[in-house]
Structure 1
Amino acid sequence: MSGLLGLAAALPPVRAIRYTARVFRRFAYPDQAPSFETPEDYGLSAESFEVTAEDGVRIRGWLFEPPDARGVVIVCHPRSSNKSRVLRHIQILVEGGMAVVVFDFRACGDSERPGRRVFNSMWEPLRDLEAVARMVEQRFAGDAGLGQRVALLGCSFGGNMAIAHAGTTGRCYAALVLDSTPLIHWQDMLDLLLARERRGARRRVLRAIGDYLAVRLLVAWTRTEALYRHAQRSAQCLDRTPLLLMLGERDGYFDIEQSCRFVAESYAGPVELWRVPRGRHLTLHITAAEEYSRRLLDFLDRAFDNRAARPPARQAACAPARPSARSPARVSAASLQQRGVS
């Protein structure tokens, strides 16, 4: 059987769409990428934990709690990656006096891989984040200060999960940070990636047909459009949660202008935008290392100080109408630019 599959893969029509098939596989089902670094490599000491998502999948992670922590940050890693991918972010936060909770989404790192699902692979990680958020509530329930100063930081796809979760659970997070997060229609992103890959390729017509069909099948398979609308509804509830959106001007993974438009049209709370001139996807903390640390910690300090001064009551889960154009919380793309820092 393996010989037949190898022969089929060598046939010209199959070779023409092989990259498309890999893209489909990558986005439909995450890879359980190995961990190449440990907390000890960054001079950190982690407490391991395990929680169970509502569908029984066991999710594993690390907790970092420095003395006299000023707040708690839940960190969400990119897709087809694991918690070791964000260790530098964790180091910045811990050295800045923040407690950090990081975990592996299902089928990534040390977390369990559920039984094969046919659909909803883009939605299931929301269950993992919810289980971790409940653990954080229980862990810091005895500390009124820390319990009210909880923020979310999401990198790439982890940011998609963070913003989709934050406004739909009844919690009132102190802050939300999105790093290189594609707040876009996934069909647009995949069309762009595959069109770029087709340049100069042979059998471009066949590739274009295969790409068109594969992208639309993938969007339907994973229900990404429904997830996009869910994230919009969530963003419209976050009027008391400030957002720091960090994007690289040279991000070749998606159109960052679409992310800016999403925030301008849907995010109900105050927004700070930082567009890193030479930044690429998930490299902002490297391209502008000192500025990244300064901006991130300053933003969280201000958000936590504001939350300590005006602690909110727990709000009911929100299902809002679209914000009014007259609402002062609504921001235009132009005002995003004015409020951000280039």
Structure 2
Amino acid sequence: MEVLLKVLTVGGTGYIALLAVMFLLQGALIYFPDTGRQILRTPKDVGLDYEVVWLTTEDDVRIEAWFVPAPAPRGVALLAHGNAGNIGYRVDYARLFHRLGFSLLLLEYRGYGRSEGKPSEEGTYADARAAWRHLVMERGFPAERIVLVGESLGGAVVARLAVDQRPAALVLASSFVSVPELAAELYPWLPARRLARYRYDTLEALKRVSCPVLIAHSREDDIVPFHHGERLFAAVKGTKAFLEMDGGHNEGFLFTREVWREELGRFLEQHVPEGTASIGPR
């Protein structure tokens, strides 16, 4: 009996210690900026000119973005990437949107790439707002010509932005319902929902979004299960479309690139007015 009590005591102490570590070090489980500090590719590697833009957020953090212009653009896409790597890993998006007649602003989060600061949930939301202000106030793009695009974690970021603004459309790729929901599936032996200090509640944001929404997800996603995409799609009350992709979480676009381009192009043609965007002084 004494041995059993000791085993239970040691096990209980270890479990409590694990809970404390999970609670305190959640940021290290959500953000992976060190996987892509070095910029390995730029739009020039796919034959496109671009401009490095430095934005200052409302809390005075200096972040980087790349603006890739398209000739006589129909509009502009604002891309918020996933939780690992940097904008250099997303250069193929520039080629994709260029073919569709859209300029592109690739947003780098604070603490990622060459941006200053340290990533946080409220910080990434502020980063997205700074990018929106740049497109509207400095580039002169009207809201009805701006498409918000988010992959994985970035989906939660731009969904939140779409609640406060009125973009032409919102595109979410491989995005999750919320951090607590995903954590509960990844760590079923932990009270993950109660431990979660980060929300990134994409589902709640989508309930309040009024613009057309395209959800893209793969049944083979090995990180964010397919039913997350289904739940997000069901939450959208207005105009919406769903694209089922192939491949794992980080491979979906590689496996369905042509289908992705065709479906995305069709969606944008339906929801972004024809004609060239009226752009301001820059």
Is the TM value for this pair above 0.5? Answer: yes
Rounded Cα–Cα distance in structure 1 between residues aligned with 2:31 and 2:102: 32
Report the secondary structure of 1:124's partner residue: helix
1:21-67 Cα distance to aligned partner (Å, 9 max, x none): 69845335442422222222211211111111111111111101121
Q: Give 1:31's aligned residue.
A: 33
- Contact 1:79–1:157 at 8 Å: present in 2 too? yes
- Contact 1:59–1:128 at 8 Å: present in 2 too? yes
* Aligned: 1:100 with 2:104: yes
RMSD: 2.9
Correspondence for 1:188 among 165, 181, 184 = 181
Report the secondary structure of 2:186's partner residue: helix
Report the secondary structure of 1:167's partner residue: helix
TM-score, structure 1 as length reference: 0.68
1:1-342 equivalences in 2 (<5 Å): 24-32=26-34, 33-34=36-37, 35-114=39-118, 121-141=120-140, 148-168=144-164, 171-182=165-176, 184-194=177-187, 208=189, 212=190, 215=192, 218-219=195-196, 221-222=197-198, 224=199, 227-228=200-201, 231-239=202-210, 241-265=211-235, 267-276=236-245, 278-305=246-273
Rounded Cα–Cα distance in structure 2 between residues aligned with 1:103 and 1:262: 23
Rounded Cα–Cα distance in structure 1 between residues aligned with 2:103 and 2:109: 20
Report the secondary structure of 1:152's partner residue: strand
Rounded Cα–Cα distance in structure 1 between residues aligned with 2:228 and 2:96: 28
1:248-303 Cα distance to aligned partner (Å, 9 max, x none): 110111222133223313x2221100112x32213222111211111112211221
Count of paired positions: 259
Report the secondary structure of 2:131's partner residue: helix
Rounded Cα–Cα distance in structure 1 between residues aligned with 2:265 and 2:109: 25
Shift of the 233–186 alpha-carbon distance from structure 1 to 2, 3 Å rule, reads: closer
Report the secondary structure of 2:121's partner residue: coil
- Contact 1:285–1:293 at 8 Å: present in 2 too? no
1:204-234 Cα distance to aligned partner (Å, 9 max, x none): xxxx4xxx26x45751x33x1xx42xx4553
The structural deviation recorded for 1:82 is 1.4
Shift of the 36–217 alpha-carbon distance from structure 1 to 2, 3 Å rule, reads: farther
Counterpart of 2:29 in structure 1: which amino acid? F
Counterpart of 2:158 in structure 1: which amino acid? A
The structural deviation recorded for 1:160 is 0.9
Q: Give 1:330's aligned residue.
A: none
Gaps of 5+ in 1: 1-12, 196-207, 309-342
TM-score, structure 2 as length reference: 0.81
The structural deviation recorded for 1:132 is 0.7
Rounded Cα–Cα distance in structure 2 between residues aligned with 1:135 and 1:185: 28
Rounded Cα–Cα distance in structure 2 between residues aligned with 1:46 and 1:154: 20
Rounded Cα–Cα distance in structure 2 between residues aligned with 1:49 and 1:179: 25
Report the secondary structure of 2:250's partner residue: coil
Counterpart of 2:259 in structure 1: which amino acid? E
Rounded Cα–Cα distance in structure 2 between residues aligned with 1:194 and 1:147: 40
Post-superposition, which runs of at least 4 consecutive aligned residues in structure 1 deviate over 4 A?
A: 20-23
- Contact 2:212–2:238 at 8 Å: present in 1 too? yes
